[in-house]
Amino acid sequence: MSFAALLVLEDGRIFRGRGIGARVERAGEVVFNTGLTGYQEIFTDPSYSGQIVVLTYPQIGNYGVNDEDRESLKPYLEGLVVREFSQIASNRRSQQTADEYLAQAGVPIIGDLDTRALVRHLRDQGAMRGVISSLDLDPRSLKEKARSIPTMKGLDLASTVSTKKRYQWTEPVPASSPSEHIETAEQKFHVVAYDFGIKHNILRKLRGIGAHTTVVPASTTAEEVLSLKPDGVFISNGPGDPEPLQAQAKSIGGVIGRVPVFGICLGHQVLALASGAKTYKLKFGHHGCNHPVRNELTGKVEITSQNHGFAVDPDSLPADLQVTHINLNDQTLEGFRSRKDPMFCVQYHPEAAPGPHDSAYLFDEFRELMEGQR
């Protein structure tokens, strides 16, 4: 069953479509993702907290959802915008249709919408606030609602999605996992992972390099982390603006130089803040699994999975940090490492859920750093 629905942006642009699943109203920053597959991983990526996601691939939902492909325990996006939504799932691994899955979480879907026009508008004007509704169909009312929600700049969402309690990741790597790493028999490293919105496949990758992982809240201090006697510290991806995370950056700064540190996405930005660098908001962000990045140390180009709306200002990096990766689409900073301490980070998602496996070597580099410090 479908019903009339609207997506209205803060600038007053109106997009009409058909609502599917949850008959609700939700608001958030509207962004677009250019991936061709992996929609369930996108639904359950905590980095999409506070955002309405437009998928540029025309048909979504056709292979359903299953428990193994979840990147967290629930969907985090505020709403889903698609051109065509399939309410029929055709896949042997499917356990539920995608619209049923999102409806149970109260996440609205709006389909039969001109996603090409919407994406071009966001690309030209930048990501902006919007409201999806099948309850209120008054465009002027929805425009005012869109303008009333907080902007993403200055918004700390990482603290809201982070785990509230420390826990151990003990789940084995599934037999169907696309992970490049085969689980080792011996878990000889102890990694403490800061959860700013961590994804399950990151934890699988860490297990695959021989690490048993303790996941800790974003507010955990350096002293608390070091008391766990880790061989390495991982700083995860997550949603929102890194700038409000000054206390977390200070804590993480107390770990740098004590043990090997590896950060990705928001973790990359927090490590930059901890090192004295600055961040800024991108016009429409990087969301997709087809972004070319050049490794400045090897000259090789990686196709990467990305999901972020902020970036690190390379001109603000202190002299003891070396640029290691550059985005070939817009030349933004995609990675750096310390010249004096065992610390490195990248802006993208090397665990590739969803996405290509070009960057899996970074987990091997983390393992080598931990081996070298023993």
pLDDT in tens, the chain (374 residues): 799 999 999 999 999 999 999 999 999 999 999 999 999 999 999 999 999 999 999 999 999 999 999 999 999 999 999 999 999 999 999 999 999 999 999 999 999 999 999 999 999 999 999 999 999 999 999 999 999 999 999 999 999 999 999 999 988 776 555 555 555 547 899 999 999 999 999 999 999 999 999 999 999 999 999 999 999 999 999 999 999 999 999 999 999 999 999 999 999 999 999 999 999 999 999 999 999 999 999 999 999 999 999 999 999 999 999 999 999 999 999 999 999 999 999 999 999 999 999 999 999 999 999 999 87
- Closest by CA position to 91, among listed 176, 179, 33: 176
pTM over 0.85, yes/no: yes
Residue 263, strand partner residues: 235, 345
Architecture of domain 158-373: 3-Layer(aba) Sandwich (3.40)
- List the chain domain ranges: 2-148, 158-373
Residues belonging to the active site: 265, 349, 351
d(CA 343, CA 335): 11
Judge if the upstream peptide bond of residue 354 is cis by omega within 30 degrees of 0: yes
What is the model's pLDDT at position 371?
Answer: 96
* 70, containing H or E segment: none
Architecture of domain 2-148: 3-Layer(bba) Sandwich (3.50)
Please check whether residue 82 is in contact with residue 18, taking contact to mean a CB–CB distance below 8 angstroms: no
What is the model's pLDDT at position 170?
Answer: 87
In whole angstroms, what separates CA 41 from the centre of its chain? 10
Please check whether residue 367 is in contact with residue 318, taking contact to mean a CB–CB distance below 8 angstroms: no
Please check whether residue 313 is in contact with residue 279, taking contact to mean a CB–CB distance below 8 angstroms: yes
In whole angstroms, what separates CA 215 from the centre of its chain? 17
d(CA 179, CA 174): 9
| Helix segments in the chain, DSSP class H | 39-43, 98-104, 115-125, 139-148, 158-161, 200-208, 222-227, 246-253, 266-274, 361-373
Query: Dihedral sign, CA of 206, 208, 209, 210?
Result: positive
- Closest by CA position to 204, among listed 162, 166, 176: 176
What angle in degrees, to the nearest 10, is found between the helix axes of 361-373 and 200-208?
A: 50
What residues contact 374, with CB distance under 8 A and at least 6 apart? 231
Residue 140, strand partner residues: none
What is the model's pLDDT at position 193?
Answer: 98
300 burial (CB, 10 Å; 0-12 / 13-18 / 19+) is: exposed
